[in-house]
């Protein structure tokens, strides 16, 4: 093979490589898609004191959740035995923390308690005050536009030396007459916020009996 032919073949190879590279560079790169995930938090509706200011010290224990509620996505119930997680609609804080926050703010806003302390094992050393325990059993929308929020609660007098205190009140709260459009998660969260506030209202009504402790 003479030098002229070698040079010609090298030129053809270089030209082909350049065309190939040019073709690769002309292919549009995929565009990055925006993350569709939205995050939501419960809010506390404005509360107005409805009576004399409460004097009870309330010690709110960590809120318990039914096992299926411990995931971050919002839940829509499709049937009696079927739930669907909205993967792109998530709680911005743990649901147990959100419920505790709203209950605390609502009790204080209603003037139902002088103090509401949060935290595991927060009990008064002198045996005064009230221990509040809450367990959330349902917190979801339904496919037909309903809203389900259910929670059991107990008010117990604090006691010293590990002794069990007197049960001052207990309840099984179930939301009623709350609706959403089945599509807008922000609307669902607004209704669930109203349900948690109503739970706090039920607890507040039981506190006057404890205020003398």
Cβ contacts of residue 154 below 8 Å, gap of 6+?
A: 132, 133, 167, 169, 170
Tell me the CATH number of domain 38-210, given options 1.10.10.10, 3.30.70.3040, 3.40.50.10610, 3.30.70.1060.
3.40.50.10610
Q: How many other C-beta atoms are found inside a 10 Å radius of the C-beta of residue 91?
A: 20
Tokens 């995929």 sit at which residue?
A: 30
CB of 122 within 8 A of CB of 66? no
Q: Based on C-alpha coordinates, what's the Rg of the chain?
A: 30
Domain boundaries, the chain: 38-210
Angle at 176 between CA 146 and CA 100, to 5 degrees: 95
Render each residue's pLDDT in the chain as its tens digit; 213 residues.
555 454 554 555 554 555 444 555 566 777 777 889 999 999 987 777 766 677 889 999 999 999 999 999 999 999 989 999 999 999 999 999 999 999 999 999 999 999 999 876 656 655 568 999 999 999 999 999 999 999 999 999 887 545 567 898 999 999 999 999 999 999 999 999 999 999 999 999 998 765 454
pLDDT by residue (tens digit) across 9-25? Answer: 455 555 455 544 455 55
- State what percent of residues in the chain have pLDDT above 70: 75
């Amino acid at each position: 093979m003479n030098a002229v032919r070698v040079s010609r073949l090298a030129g053809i190879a270089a030209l082909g490589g350049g065309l190939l590279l040019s073709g690769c560079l002309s292919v549009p790169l995929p565009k990055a898609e925006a993350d569709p995930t939205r995050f939501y938090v419960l809010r506390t509706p404005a509360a107005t004191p409805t009576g004399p200011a409460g004097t009870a010290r309330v010690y709110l224990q960590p809120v318990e959740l039914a096992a299926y509620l411990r995931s971050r996505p919002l839940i829509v119930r499709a049937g009696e035995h079927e739930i669907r997680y909205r993967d792109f609609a998530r709680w911005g804080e743990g649901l147990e923390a959100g419920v505790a926050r709203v209950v605390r703010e609502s009790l204080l806003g209603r003037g139902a308690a002088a103090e509401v302390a949060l935290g595991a094992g927060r009990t008064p050393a002198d045996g005064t005050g009230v221990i509040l325990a809450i367990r959330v059993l349902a917190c979801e929308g339904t496919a037909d536009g309903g809203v389900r929020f259910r929670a059991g609660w107990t008010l117990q007098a604090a006691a010293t030396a590990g002794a069990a205190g007197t049960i001052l009140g207990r309840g099984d709260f179930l939301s009623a007459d709350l609706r959403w459009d089945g599509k807008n998660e922000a609307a669902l969260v607004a209704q669930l916020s109203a349900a948690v506030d109503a739970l706090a209202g039920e607890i507040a009504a039981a506190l006057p009996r404890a205020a003398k402790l």
